[in-house]
Amino acid sequence: MHASDPANGQNPGEQWGSQTGFILATIGSAAGVGNVWRFSYVAGENGGGVFLLLYIVSIALIGLPIIIAETAIGRALRHDHAPATQRLRQLRHWQAFRLVSVVAALAILSFYAVIAGWALRYFVGAVDGSLLRIAAAGHGEFFGTFIAAPVEPVIWHGLMMLATTLIVLRGVQKGIETANRILMPVLFAAVALLAIYGMTQTGSGDGLAFLFMPDWARLGEPEVYLAAMGQAFFSLGVGMAVFVTYGSYMPTRQRIPTAALAIIAGDTLVAMLAGIAIFTTVFAYGINPAAGPELAFITLPKIFVALPGGRLFAVLFFGLLVAGALTSMISLLEVSVAWFVQRTHWHRRRAAPILGILIFVLGVPSALGYGTLASIQWNGRGILDSIDFAASNVLLPFGGLMLLALVGWRWGRQPALIAANLDRSAWAPAWFALVRWITPLLVLIILLREFVDG
């Protein structure tokens, strides 16, 4: 089989323009609403420092080995024509994994785009100043009314999907890589400025203590472990084919373990800086950090109103959310576009708009789930939360397990190690033991817990 044969499983000829292309785009995929909005409230609810510690352990024991495995298989299926590798593609197992990953990508993107739309609305409100003119006490009501409106959330959600589609249809280098080259520096600058700003506020020390000082008593609570592992999955975006897809555009000379370390470092740095920015500010204003999912959209805007220079803070904060969301949405759309192009042999210029519109339509119920469709609930969860729950807590870990089984049990140790650039590394036994035994066991524990607890 030739590398440019579409039946090879990837889009012919597309590749990152440079070594940093892959790293920037994967950090772009990983760093998003999950690092800012989800990380801060999950950390708040799960005791801060202890959560952070367990989160970092989960990144090392679950996230890192899966990123390496996903990237290795993605690149090898395109470039390595050894029978042991090419055989993988024929396996039902592989096709089932790709299907699960595409379903997970569609599902996650459909609700993620809605939250991204809220962020865009708030960004515009910060830029034109209207957000700062709402009385502090009115922010809860403002947010509640906005997300319950029948048309507005759908429009903002549509705008975010439109931007994502326009970028993805331009291709790997011109679209995805260029967008990440512009948005990622913006994201890093915004989060760093916010963290510095947060630390200069009086009372910020309590926020730092909350984020970094472990309250050891909480180590006894199993939920904290599960929350940390679930957050690691979602925040890195592992368990679906993001790294397979982006890895297939990676040049053969680039070393996967180094890239994987850069990715987890970059993603964790964004989460920590966002955590510092948020908790120093929240503590400086004496607010309960366990404020829940509304932390970003109600609690913080309330503080921005009172803050000197609050408008700049608000612009940076919601700009950060929008930039992070967009680079993550691009990767989610690309997972299904790459799969679709390979299946139908359509051009991406045709596949991207069709899938973009499909995802937009799939997201409409999530966008209306707080107003017109608020009566639709399962187990006390609305539409958006239910899809988030099913996709993040079930499909992602399930996809992760399928991939680990494929690499750990069916590929063969030597071909997998070579593909991962670990064949001559002292870390080879550790990585393979993680992929084969330890990581799947940990993931299985999360999955079982979800099912047992319902």
Q: Site residues (CB under 6 A) for ligand PHE? A: 29-30, 32-35, 108, 234-235, 237, 240, 242, 328, 331-332
- The span from the CA of 376 to the CA of 436, in Å, is 41
Calculate helix-pair angle for 222-236, 49-58, nearest 10 degrees. Answer: 50
**Contact (CB, 8 A) for 11 and 342:** yes
- Six token digits for residue 116: 């991204």
Comparing CB distances to ligand PHE, the nearer of 32 and 275 is: 32
Comparing CB distances to ligand PHE, the nearer of 234 and 318 is: 234
Which helix (H) or strand (E) segment is 177 a member of?
A: none
Q: How far is the CB of 53 from ligand PHE (least distance, A)?
A: 19
CB neighbours (10 Å) of residue 163? 20
CB-nearest residue to ligand PHE: 34
Comparing CB distances to ligand PHE, the nearer of 281 and 328 is: 328
Comparing CB distances to ligand PHE, the nearer of 85 and 331 is: 331
Locus of tokens 């396996």: 91
**Contact (CB, 8 A) for 452 and 89:** no
Comparing CB distances to ligand PHE, the nearer of 328 and 336 is: 328
State the amino acid at position 406 in one-letter form.
L
Q: How far is the CB of 92 from ligand PHE (least distance, A)?
A: 24
Residue whose C-alpha is closest to residue 332's, from 234, 265, 190: 234
Residue whose C-alpha is closest to residue 335's, from 1, 7, 25: 25
Q: How far is the CB of 203 from ligand PHE (least distance, A)?
A: 28
State the amino acid at position 31 in one-letter form.
A
Comparing CB distances to ligand PHE, the nearer of 8 and 46 is: 46
**Contact (CB, 8 A) for 49 and 210:** yes
Q: How far is the CB of 137 from ligand PHE (least distance, A)?
A: 30
Comparing CB distances to ligand PHE, the nearer of 8 and 29 is: 29
Q: How far is the CB of 328 from ligand PHE (least distance, A)?
A: 4
- The span from the CA of 125 to the CA of 94, in Å, is 45
Q: How far is the CB of 108 from ligand PHE (least distance, A)?
A: 5
Q: How far is the CB of 288 from ligand PHE (least distance, A)?
A: 24
